Amino acid sequence: MHEVYNHPFSESIRAGVGSIMCSYNRINQTHACENSYLMNKLAKQDLAFHGFVVSDWSPQPSGVSSALAGLDMSMPGFRSYTEGLDNQQNPAKSYYPLKLFPINQWELVK
C-alpha cells in the first residue's frame, strides 16, 4: 500500500495541504473513515499533517469511532457523529477538542 498510494499524499502534506478526505473504501476490513492507522498514525503523526480530515458524503458507519480514529469533520453532518460526542458515549475520554477542531481550521482558509 505504501509503495503505491503513500507518495502522492506525503508530497501533498509536505506542500502544505489544509485538508484530506477519507471515503467509502476499506483498508484491511476497516472503513477508511474509521481507520486510526491511516488518519492518526500515518497522516497526523508520521507525515506531520496539521490540517483536518473530512469525510466524503456519509461514508462512516459510526460517529464516535470515526472521531476517535482521527476524523475531524463529518459530511454532510452525520447525526450520530455529533450526538455521540455530545452524549460522551465513552466517559473515560473527552471528545470536546475533537468536535471543535474543524471550527478552528476555518481560520486557516479565510
| pLDDT tens column, 39-77 | 999 999 999 998 889 888 877 777 778 888 888 887 876
Residue 89 pLDDT exceeds 80? no
Read off the amino acid at residue 52. Answer: F
pTM above 0.75, yes or no: no
pLDDT given at position 51: 87
- Active site residue: 46, 56, 72, 86, which one? 56
**Separation CA 39–CA 55 (nearest Å):** 11
Q: Judge whether 32 and 59 are in contact, CB under 8 Å.
A: yes
Q: Where are the domains of the chain?
A: 2-109
**Whether residue 56 lies in the annotated active site:** yes
CA distance 54 to 72: 6
